Amino acid sequence: MIDYRGSFDFELPPEAMWDVLEHTERFESWWGWLHELRRDGGPLQAGSGLYGVVSPPVPYEMRVRVVLDRCVRPERIDAHVEGDLEGSAGLLLEPRGDGSRATVSWTIEMKQRPMRLAARLAPPLMRWGHDRVVEATVQGFRRNLAKSPLGQSHPGAV
């Protein structure tokens, strides 16, 4: 099991952050660890799903489906994860000054037998891989916010 909770500040207000997040077709180009991404249904609405392959910096890949259970624009997304990872995940966007605080959380379990074994035998390695994916995600999001029209219209949006 991986339980994670982290908060990150961005210069864009929640509504603008939501607008950027709705462009899921950009995610694969933003993050090198994400492949074969496809979307089922509207981008950010209850019942929509995202399917993809996650390739962290350790030698394995995971096929996952993220199903959006609840979406409240521009505040929160609650979802469940299926496939090689199973569990729940959430995103909370809160105003913070002129920008936003994004709080992400998930509780996931690895379902692949080799990964379950690795998680038992080498938890620090698994946590290291997980944390590198989180760091790459936040860095990629910041970098691409700076390039997007929404980010450019908000100076300091990195």
How many domains in the chain? 1
Any domain includes 158 = no
How many residues are there in the chain?
158
CATH number of the domain enclosing 81: 3.30.530.20
Distances (CA, A) of 50 to 9, 15, 46, 83, 84: 25, 21, 12, 12, 14
Among the listed residues 156, 152, 140, 107, the one whose alpha carbon sits nearest the alpha carbon of residue 26:
140
Any domain includes 130 = yes
Any domain includes 50 = yes
Query: Residue 158 has what pLDDT?
Result: 41
Longest dimension (CA), the chain: 48
Contacts of 35 (CB under 8 A, 6+ apart): 28, 52, 53, 55, 61
Any domain includes 157 = no
Any domain includes 128 = yes
- What CA–CA distance (Å, rounded) separates 39 from 52? 9
Query: Residue 149 has what pLDDT?
Result: 67
Any domain includes 19 = yes
In DSSP notation, 57-101 reads SSS--EEEEEEEEEEETTTEEEEEEEESEEEEEEEEEEEETTEEE
Query: Residue 101 has what pLDDT?
Result: 97
> What distance lies between CA 83 and its chain's CA centroid?
16
- Are 104 and 130 in contact, with CB atoms under 8 Å apart? no
Domain limits for position 148: 2-152
- Are 12 and 154 in contact, with CB atoms under 8 Å apart? yes
pLDDT in tens, the chain (158 residues): 789 999 999 999 999 999 999 988 888 988 888 999 999 987 799 999 999 999 877 677 899 999 999 999 999 999 999 999 999 999 999 999 999 999 999 999 888 777 777 777 777 877 887 888 888 889 888 888 877 666 555 444 44
Query: Residue 82 has what pLDDT?
Result: 97
